[in-house]
Amino acid sequence: MNQITVLKIGGNVIDNPAALTRFLTAFSALRGDKVLVHGGGKIATQVAEKLNVPTTMVEGRRITDQPMLEVVTMVYGGLVNKQIVAQLQTLGINAIGLTGADAGIVKASRRPVAAVDYGFVGDIQEVDSGRLQSLTSQGLVPVFAPLTFDPSLGTLLNTNADTLAQALAVDMIRHNDVTLVYCFEKKGVLSNPDDDNSVIKQLTPDVYAEHKDAGSINKGMIPKLDNAFAALEAGVKRVIICHADELGAALDGAEGTTVTLG
């Protein structure tokens, strides 16, 4: 079966030009088909401030009202996405920048208002893996901004990049053996958040539960790991969490955290 790597890059790498260049160089060297999903939240916050658009976060999640939707569309779908595509083209990778709306690849619905009204935030409903597969089969490398769309409303929706990567990976298992990789500025999942050398080499559900109960795994790592385990349960072959500078070594099993069902 065909092999494909779905990789999400985020954290402090996106807004650090040198770190981003190092990562994209390593990404371009990966063999086989690949799909890249990127974040860009810090840049969106910086641009919003320049435009006098208030930023409101609830438990680390961005409230996306109409002005903020315009900002994240410009930043994610424009500035960040096209800069990454341009760098990959320079590195010899025939990248194509996309949002979920392009070719209707990722459909979502606006999140219902509950205790919090997140605004124009999308919950993914469907991925058209056939169209995505047609791009990779032509030798193209899709680069996704974290934007989906609601066909009933005709609007773009801000969507968590970790969740988007997981959804793409899960849907691609129809045609491929899929590896899902989450890259950021940490060496992996840490047993001590203050010690970058305390990498948990293999994380099972039981080990995850222990560290979550103890508080050593917390905040933004929890939804990332929830996505990781959900991907494995759905049939993704393996999930790796690693430092952006250690991508190659992590794929070889020498660095980072391998998430496993046991």
Summarize the confidence of residues 127-154 as an average pLDDT: 96
| Helix axes of 81-90 and 17-29: crossing angle, nearest 10 degrees | 50
Residue 181: per-residue pLDDT: 98
User: Residues forming the annotated binding site?
Assistant: 40-41, 62, 158
pLDDT tens digits, 12-46: 999 999 999 999 999 999 999 999 999 999 999 99
**Cα gap 235→214, rounded to integer Å:** 29
Residue 49: per-residue pLDDT: 97
**Cα gap 231→238, rounded to integer Å:** 9
Please choose, from the candidates 7, 176, 5, 171, the residue with its C-alpha nearest in 3D space to the C-alpha of residue 84: 7
Query: What does the block give as tokens for 125?
Result: 């409903």
Cα–Cα–Cα angle for 101, 102, 104, rounded to 5 degrees: 60
pLDDT tens digits, 213-251: 999 998 888 889 999 999 999 999 999 999 999 999 999
User: Residues forming the annotated binding site for substrate?
Assistant: 40-41, 62, 158
Fold assignment, 2-259: Carbamate kinase (3.40.1160)
Q: Where are the domains of the chain?
A: 2-259
Asked if the model's pLDDT at residue 1 lies above 80, the reply is no
